[in-house]
Amino acid sequence: MLKFTPTLGATLVMLALSTNALATSPVAAVPPPLQQAAGVSAPVPAFDLEADVQRVLKTFDVPGMAVAIVKDGKVVAANGYGVRKLGEATPVDGHTLFEIASNSKAFTAAALAQLVDDGKLAWDDPVTRHLPDFQMYDSYVTGVMTVRDLLTHRSGLGLGAGDLLWWPTTSFSTDEIIARLRYVKPATSFRNNYAYDNLLYIVAGKIIAQKSGKPWGAVVRERILTPLAMQETTTSVDAMRAGSNYSAPHSKINDKISVVKPMQVENAIGAVGINTSASDIARWMNMLLNEGKLEDGSQIISSKQIGELWTEQTPMRIRTPKPPLAATKPNFAGYGLGFSLRDYRGRKIAMHGGALQGFYSTVLMVPEEKLGIAILTNAENSPAMAALYWRILDQYLNVPASDWITLYAEQEAAAHKEELERQGKESAARAAKSSPSLPLAAYEGEYEDAWYGKVSIRREGRKQIMRFSRTPDLEGELEHFQHDTFIVRWKERNFNADAYVSFALNPDASIERMKMAPVSTETDFSFDFRDLSFSPVAAPKTR
């Protein structure tokens, strides 16, 4: 989804490497190697972009990666590394397309900023002024929510609330998703705290279409991609795959990296939707760092609105990292409009992450240094990207270097080991000899949630199969865990989203409700099982 803070890293062996630079050398324009940081026992390898990326690919087992670096208006690097698809030799180059998922949110924010420049809307307009049918769960929130609120993750919705309306691929239309927002219960009061969401960016995309008289993708192409000469970039997966130079998605299946099918999410445009290359994303970063100006001096977004995008709107909680990563702890953290904001080594950073099935990406800019870094990958591994962008940042900011690649690899391995141990303890503590309160057939039937709709549990041969009615890939077998709790094991094993399915009974032993929760803490938050509350659908009466 995804997503701003991806959770689980993926690993596999790097098979090949290819470089396609827009500069003479990807390393020539960077400062000389720095000395190792105090307290680091082993020497820190000298900075070398190509060597560092190769090391990241191998260490974190990522098949392919594209890296763009811009500095002072120049493209220092727009390179490809590794392969587009595991098992094939075709290399990634600077023009290979990747899905960038939630890094699309910045394009949505920029398109709205252009409408503000045009006087067609204001950031603090009520949403209902532009979408009269818009409705949240709370009528007060419906009336006071502004266009700005759509972009700032302070609506009161919980983390990823409602994402199952589009993730994984569903049959809901964009309009259906927006209409069902009114049934998603808030987790906190309005504007009380930060909680990342996707659905309100879908609403923002709808406003762009409504005010422009054409689809979101057409507006983004006409007003952003074409002026920036981002000719390779597409606004749909189908358009990307109509070409020849695109990357395949990869996920882990039983701890082994595999090619998986792309996630079709055209109903979530505004939150996601952009597919781009290192070459094109470099142009995007340079425009933003140049305060909305193109190379020829023409202004496509006013400097005032660029400043608005990079102004903190919602404070974010600062978490203390493990001691080896202590230097990455910011002094401030917040969300602007389509960008998260923080500091590092005394400089302000505007950045975002993106996650969809098989793709992770990061776009990071240091405005006062006119420095931009984009990392696009065809695997699900956020530590791989973090290790590389801290490495690049240290080099360009001329600060003592750390061996971030080793440090992040160690932290990833330790965290995964800890999660496996937690699951093992949870399984060992279950009441293994307990039985369900009812015959298994009594749990079968249809269940309905207010915002998602229906799921079914049916007997198929000797198995009980759960199916989500509007999500073809959410189909899995139920196995008993303890008492009236089962685990659904999804047929699509790359989801890493097996979930507990728990039933509560009425006094007469009929089923009152069914709830779900992920088994693993590594499950992506867009598998929003926790916000579902299913009630049995009464069977029609027969005469």
What string of H, E and C letters represents the secondary structure of 213-235?
Answer: CCCHHHHHHHHHHCCCCCCCCEC
DSSP per-residue letters across 293-314: B-TTS-BSS-HHHHHHHTS--E
Q: In 163-294, at which residue ranges do the beta strands (DSSP E only) sit?
A: 250-253, 256-259, 275-276
Evaluated on CA atoms 264, 270, 272, 276, the torsion sign reads positive
Contact 220, 293 (CB under 8 A): no
Contact 46, 395 (CB under 8 A): no
Residue 297 has what pLDDT?
93
Contact 111, 151 (CB under 8 A): no
d(CA 89, CA 112): 41
Query: How, if at all, do strands 359-366 and 445-449 pair?
Result: unpaired
Q: In 410-460, at which residue ranges do the beta strands (DSSP E only) sit?
A: 445-449, 453-460
Residue 21 has what pLDDT?
28
**CB neighbours (10 Å) of residue 328?**
17
User: pLDDT 10s per residue in the chain (543 long)?
Assistant: 433 333 333 222 222 222 232 222 223 233 333 333 434 457 888 999 999 999 999 999 999 999 999 999 999 999 999 999 999 999 999 999 999 999 999 999 999 999 999 999 999 999 999 999 999 999 999 999 999 999 999 999 999 999 999 999 999 999 999 999 999 999 999 999 999 999 999 999 999 999 999 999 999 999 999 999 999 999 999 999 999 999 999 999 988 999 999 999 999 999 999 999 999 999 999 999 999 999 999 999 999 999 999 999 999 999 999 999 999 999 999 999 999 999 999 999 999 999 999 999 999 999 999 999 999 999 999 999 999 999 999 999 999 999 999 999 999 999 999 999 999 999 999 999 999 999 999 999 999 999 999 999 999 999 999 999 999 999 999 999 999 999 999 999 999 999 999 999 999 999 999 999 999 999 999 999 999 999 999 865 544
Record the tokens describing residue 306, joined without a space: 């660029």
Residue 415 has what pLDDT?
94
Residue 541 has what pLDDT?
52
Record the tokens describing residue 342, joined without a space: 């923080």
Record the tokens describing residue 456, joined without a space: 């079914």
Side chain identity at 229, as an amino acid letter?
Answer: A
Contact 263, 169 (CB under 8 A): yes
Side-chain-facing half-sphere of 70: CA atoms under 13 Å: 26
